[in-house]
Structure 1
């Protein structure tokens, strides 16, 4: 009878552990895992590895829950056969009586606890999940292969869903930061705006070359200043003719023209280039790192197709939060 009781208690414990871990996994703060992992904590690195390979986590959890349920069922059957031999009514009634116990202590309570304190409980139980991940690795690998085959067959990738979940999690993290006073309203708006344009290509906000007002070396400074006032622009691209094409080679700032004493354009700032396939975040990062205010957008073959300014990129970030998600 002692073995039966041990199987039952162990089965309920494993059911509670895997059910709670599943909830905690989807609730854990990944930013904290990254920071702890960078600090050298191996358990945080392991949990972060699982977040980047959710199929392995799901397979381990499924196997663990099935093993736990099998152990509970086996213990109930053994107890019924030993206590009520040949009694078919007891064999049917006892599982029904024990089902609420298994549901409350093996499913409901652990999920609630892990939901309320995912970081704390995963830190305390992560080593045990690591042990079961190693033990179940052969079966988990088989399930992973089947999952990849199904993904190939359907042509679906979990990356889009994973990125969407990550973005939602980061937005929730920023909201919590605002509630606790870590970020003020303006900082939170800028951060959320960054997420809003993260997937947008730079071509969505750049201006085609045919619509850009440009100047050439030798252009009159007074004329440029007068037109810049009327158009309300602060930077002007400088172009030159190369064969039959007009190619942007640099830019000038209106403030520099005001402060200079020359009558014609002679010098200009270098014009970095960004690829048309780059994201807005990539473009603004490049401009910020180089300290430039403007860049030319080039196609895959290297042909200039547009102009984008730091002001346009910043405006896209500030306006992103206003757009519906």
Structure 2
């Protein structure tokens, strides 16, 4: 009986250690590495200690679990011994199990982990230094445990030593942005700008290019007066010039070069040589990513590129402004028009032209339609439907209902898109 008080105090101390290990595990795994790095750069030694600990998460978790299991098992063994001595004729083991389960669950698991989740950074910096001592002391044992675990998993074909992160840093940031946007901490514009910058490596120029059907081009063999008139009436400063065939682009005429030439010729159009004014066309393959093209624009000091496929056929064009708009949204000048072809209806649906790109529609409506297999909304319907649908046909996929409103030959020109949740 005289050993009950000392044993109780030892069990109480072991439960405190268990709470320390549980809270440390939650705080150190939930803390933001980016915030810790920022605080370390600002001179916080505690944040530096946290960063050193979480740099090897496997060893850290191994030491925490080892310590936690040691103190919990020891506390349970002492409690069982104490209750057996208190109830020699009764089920002391049962009493010990019930009491220790409640104590460990409430005070050594739920309470410290709840506190750690509420303030992960503060608690992580608080426990970092003592936890470094624990990790160092348990290092030999955890090394053996790691070897046993890896060897066991390897027999089942899982080599964790070679396993890369399933989620890239870019995906982690995107997920955090979406989460904070849903919680109201980041507005849509800021989220779209950051996501746009992160996605430049994932988007190819063919996904944002102006299709060749929409390109304003001029035949270089036209009379000079007609070319000048067309340039003056155009909303664009650069116009491709073709010869013999519209796929045969021989140059790009800049309005500023034309005006300089007219001024030098004292407005005498007969002295203007269009071919000598045209810049050499700049061609890029359709598989070029936006990040690659942005770097190329900066390197070559170009703002305008023509997109060709693997056979050299003209597909479209992309400008520096098009790439920047993928980051900051639409940049409208006095000649630009807002996004065309998207018409919200009173019933919550959207009437949309088939040529509208999925990315533009997602950005305008804050939707998440996939754009991996198709560029335009009409292309998405054709891909999912595995056919060229007739007017009036309705499809439902990706949480939306798509009704074909108009069709010209084999081209879907208008759709009605309705979110199914409405």
How high is the TM-score relative to the length of structure 1?
A: 0.67
Work out the CA distance in 2 between the residues paired with 1:226 and 1:306: 20
Q: Identify the residue that residue 266 of structure 1 maps to in structure 2.
A: 277
Matching residue of 2:78: 75
Residues 290 and 65 of structure 1, relative CA distance in 2, 3 Å threshold: farther
Once the 2 structures are TM-superposed, how far is the Cα of residue 165 of structure 1 from its aligned partner? 3.8
1:44 corresponding residue in structure 2: 47
Q: How does 1:260-299 map to 2 (within 5 A)?
A: 260-261=260-261, 263=272, 264=274, 266=277, 268=279, 276=287, 278=289, 280-281=290-291, 283-284=293-294, 287=297, 292-294=302-304
Segments of structure 1 that go 5 or more residues without pairing to the other structure are none
How many angstroms does 1:113 deviate by?
1.0
1:63-142 → structure 2 map (5 Å cutoff)? 63-81=66-84, 83-84=85-86, 86-87=88-89, 89-134=91-136, 135-136=138-139, 137-139=142-144, 141-142=146-147
1:276, 1:298 within 8 Å by CA — same for their partners in 2? no
The partner residue of 1:201 within 180, 203, 209 is: 203
- Cα distance in 2 for partners of 1:299, 1:64 equals 61
- Retained in 1: the 8 A contact 2:285–2:307? yes
Distance 2:58 2:16 in 1: 23
Structure 1 residue 201: deviation in Å?
A: 2.9
**Structure holding more helix per residue:** 1
CA distance in 1, matches of 2:55, 2:308: 33
User: Structure 1 residue 274: deviation in Å?
Assistant: 9.1
Matched, 1:168 2:205: no
Could you report, residue by residue, the CA deviation over 1:142-197 in whole angstroms, capped at 9, with x for unpaired residues?
Answer: 246766885449x9753327654443224445677x74xxx7664344234445x3
The CA deviation at 1:272 is 9.8
Count of residue pairs the alignment pairs up: 310
Cα deviation for residue 106 of structure 1 reads: 0.8
Partners of 2:217 and 2:240 within 8 A in 1 = yes
Task: Tell me, in whole angstroms, the C-alpha distance in 2 between the residues paired with 1:222 and 1:68.
Answer: 90
- C-alpha distance in structure 1 between counterparts of 2:92 and 2:287, whole Å: 72
Q: CA RMSD in A?
A: 4.9
Q: Structure 1, residues 295-322: CA drift from partner, whole Å, max 9, x if none?
A: 577999xxx9975422322333434542
1:89 Cα shift? Answer: 0.4
Asked if 1:323 corresponds to 2:325, the answer is: no
Tell me which structure has the larger Cα radius of gyration.
2
Matched, 1:310 2:325: no
Contact 2:294/2:323, CA 8 A, preserved across alignment: yes
Cα distance in structure 2, aligned partners of 1:238 and 1:60: 70
Question: Tell me, what secondary structure is at the counterpart of 2:261?
Answer: coil
For structure 2, which runs of at least 5 residues remain unmatched after alignment? 263-271, 330-359, 370-422
